[in-house]
Amino acid sequence: MPVSIKECCCFLKKIGNPRRIIHFALLASETSFSINEIEALHDLFERLSHAIIEDGLIHKEEFRLALFGDSSTHNLLADRLFDIFDIKKNGVIEFDEFVRSLSIFHPDAPESDKIEFMFRLYDLKHNGFIERDELKEMVLALLSEMNVDLSNDEVEAILDKTILDADLNGDGKIDLEEWKAFIPKYPSLLNNMTLPLLREITQAFPNFVLNTQVRDLEIVT
């Protein structure tokens, strides 16, 4: 049955901002999020992007503040995540980048995407390999975040074991294909790559209140 102009206008008025909904629908079709979740993420993004500099973009200081409650202290994990979220490499995180990057942590995201994201996180030199010094730097950062204090010998033992298991061709570094073969042997390494529900994402930001009003729409492709 044809829809009248009046009915279309009523529908557009009801949803408030049709361009935004279309934008959200497009993001939903390209990520693991529903439209409802993306609307919630947009509210979260607005809060984060105005925490220090009110320009609608997330700067590194705002990202650090959101994750660790401190905008000035250098944190390797926060800085590495920021660099990966900043897809355009222009020093800020835009909304689309925020959604696409967080999608990797969705329970429905492919495990292969999570493994590749983790590889990029550890590849500090951006040369397509995880070298021993990069692995050590990330291991020490993770231990620090968990408040775990290991001796240098214990850390070196972890590195030795990882390199032995993952470096299949014996060149002293780990490439992406070796990493893909290594991670499934130790699935617990991917635990932090999945946030079960959007509410868990919002719990990382105490000031955010989940309040969505748009119903999920079925996307036909």
> Is pLDDT at 119 greater than 50 in this prediction?
yes
Query: What tokens does 131 get?
Result: 């070298």
Check residue 13 and give its pLDDT: 54
> Is pLDDT at 208 greater than 80 in this prediction?
no
Residues 21 and 15: beta-carbon distance below 8 Å: yes
Reference 35, options 51, 17, 50, 49; nearest CA is: 17
φ, ψ of residue 87 in degrees (nearest 5):
-60, -40
Check residue 211 and give its pLDDT: 37
Residues 40 and 212: beta-carbon distance below 8 Å: yes
> 3-class secondary structure for 102-123?
HHHHCCCCCHHHHHHHHHHHHC
Check residue 197 and give its pLDDT: 56
Check residue 16 and give its pLDDT: 62
pLDDT tens, 7-44? 445 445 545 667 888 898 899 899 988 887 888 899 88
Which residue is associated with the tokens 């969705």? 106
Name the more confident of 92 and 69.
92
How many angstroms separate the Cα of 181 from the Cα of each of 115, 162, 164?
10, 12, 13
In which band, very low, low, confident or very high, does the pLDDT at 54 lie, cut at 50, 70 and 90?
A: very high
Please count the residues of the chain.
Answer: 221
Check residue 205 and give its pLDDT: 41
What share of residues in the chain are helix, strand, coil (percent, to 5)?
60, 5, 35
- Give me the percent of the chain exceeding a pLDDT of 90: 55
Check residue 24 and give its pLDDT: 87
Angle at 61 between CA 100 and CA 84, to 5 degrees: 30
Instruction: State the average pLDDT for the chain.
Output: 83
pLDDT tens, 148-188? 999 999 999 999 999 999 999 999 999 999 999 999 999 99
Q: For the whole model, what pTM was predicted?
A: 0.79
> Is pLDDT at 203 greater than 70 in this prediction?
no
State the chain's maximal CA–CA distance in angstroms: 74
